[in-house]
Structure 1
Amino acid sequence: MKTADCDILILPGLAGSEEDHWQARWASRLPTARIVVQDDWHAPEPEAWRRRIAEAVAAARRPVILIAHSLGVVAAVEAAPDFPPDVVRGALLVALPDVEEAPDLPDSVRAFAPLPRDPLPFPSLLVASRTDPHCAYARAEDFAYAWGAQIVDAGDSGHINVASGHGPWPEGLMRLAGFLKTL
């Protein structure tokens, strides 16, 4: 599959994706990509976030590829049962926050717990860092296996955001291109 053949829905996490974040850069660079905008990026409400993602998937006119970061991963996985069948063809899931066990997450993020453990109905990659302050690698790996996702070890990459040095994140774009070729 090529990016021109699908609708790419970009799902940011808490506080959205600032201008230098790789998701914002990809949204401006990939012609079929758009950010699914939430009503409140700073005080997320689980049901509203899931509904907004499900509505965006249902409105798509081509096969959908999800690109989610952080809390966007959680919302996407929780919304998956509400997607129309066979519309989402794959998902790149990056930097899952452990909404159940990470000690430093705000209550508004913890409200998304518990994390689903059902297999996802589409192929997916979960990119996880061994130094993500919001999720131990072993927990990310456990969720990837439960979801039927391929785990991608990002090594010492923090939360894979601007603060960890991942502005344009060309390695992620190459990983996306390789993933699309398998679909």
Structure 2
Amino acid sequence: MWNRSFLILHGVENRRPEGHWQHELAMGLRERGEQVFYPQLPDTDQPSLDAWTEAIRAELALMRGEKVVVCHSLASVAWMRFAATDPAPADRVLLASPPGPVAFEWNVIAEFTTVGLDLASLQLANGPTRLACSDADPYCVEGAAEHYGRPLGCEVDVIPGGGHIALDDGYGPWPSALNWCLDPAVRLSPNH
């Protein structure tokens, strides 16, 4: 049937609003005839790592062909935590704007912390993993390129002044994210 499928995972307090780049990405892929899973993760205001992990596992079980996962914000670290117990559950992965260590001081997401996780040993995908992050993300003051990109050994695209790469930062439609989904050689670029 499908030779590939996409799983789009959102962050904390995200109800998949219209206009957000992930919503636009899901619509754009579906318009091209792609199989897309874009679930509302449970308890988005008070997320549980166990509940999110189970939801991710259930969605992955539905996917066929090449499995492409696109994570934003807290979903990026949820994917890292998931991959620590289920190595390489996807064929390729995009991590966008993962929160940094200071962000996990917020008790709502504290259990998702990557502190103590051996990032260098994680196998996030069978194929390429790409990190797209800003040089000015208020939720990763440590700098995601250094904090995550280097130890994960993945390709990194830094979006100058991109904030948290969210709707409020000008990331409604994000053409390069759609292009990456269709061709993993594409680099992610700013929306201006």
Same fold (TM over 0.5): yes
CA offset at residue 150 of structure 1? 1.0
- For 2:36, give the aligned amino acid: A
Residue 146 in structure 1 maps to residue 151 in structure 2: yes
Instruction: Check whether the contact 1:119–1:148 (CA below 8 A) recurs between aligned residues.
Output: no
Alignment of 1:52-71 (within 5 A): 52-71=55-74
Which residue matches 1:28?
27
Question: What SS does structure 1 have at the residue aligned with 2:7?
Answer: strand
Please report how far the alpha carbon of residue 15 of structure 1 lies from its aligned counterpart in structure 2 after TM superposition: 1.7
Quick one: distance in 2 between partners of 1:178 and 1:53?
23
| Greater mean alpha carbon deviation, residues 58-67 or residues 135-144 | 135-144
Mapped pair 1:42 → 2:39: no
Equivalent residues in 2 for 1:30-179, closer than 5 Å: 30-31=29-30, 32-83=35-86, 88-98=90-100, 100-102=101-103, 106-115=106-115, 116=117, 117=119, 118-122=121-125, 123-136=128-141, 138-179=143-184
Higher mean Cα deviation, 168-177 or 60-69? 168-177
Deviation per CA, 1:51-107: give whole Å up to 9, x if none: 211222133222210000000101111111444x76511001101111x2238x631
Alignment partner, residue 17 of structure 2:
18
Amino acid at match of 2:184: F
Instruction: Choose 151-160 or 26-35, whichever is displaced more.
Output: 26-35
Query: Compared with structure 1, are the counterparts of its residues 41 and 102 closer, same or farther at alpha carbon in structure 2 (3 Å cutoff)?
Result: closer
Which segments of 5 or more consecutive residues in structure 1 lack a partner in the other structure?
none
What is the number of residues matched between the two proteins? 176
Q: Name the aligned partner's letter for residue 106 of structure 1.
A: W
Query: How high is the sequence identity, in percent, across the aligned residues?
Result: 27
Counterpart contact for 1:92–1:127, Cα < 8 Å: yes
Secondary structure of 2:114 counterpart: coil
- Aligned letter for 1:26? L
Structure 2 residue runs without a partner (length 5+): 187-192
Following the alignment from structure 2 to structure 1, what is the Cα–Cα distance between the partners of residues 23 and 137?
A: 20
| Coordinate RMSD, CA, aligned | 2.3
Residues 65 and 180 from structure 1, CA distance in 2 versus in 1: closer, same or farther, beyond 3 angstroms?
farther
TM-score (norm 2): 0.81
* Residue 178 of structure 1: how far off its partner (Å): 3.6
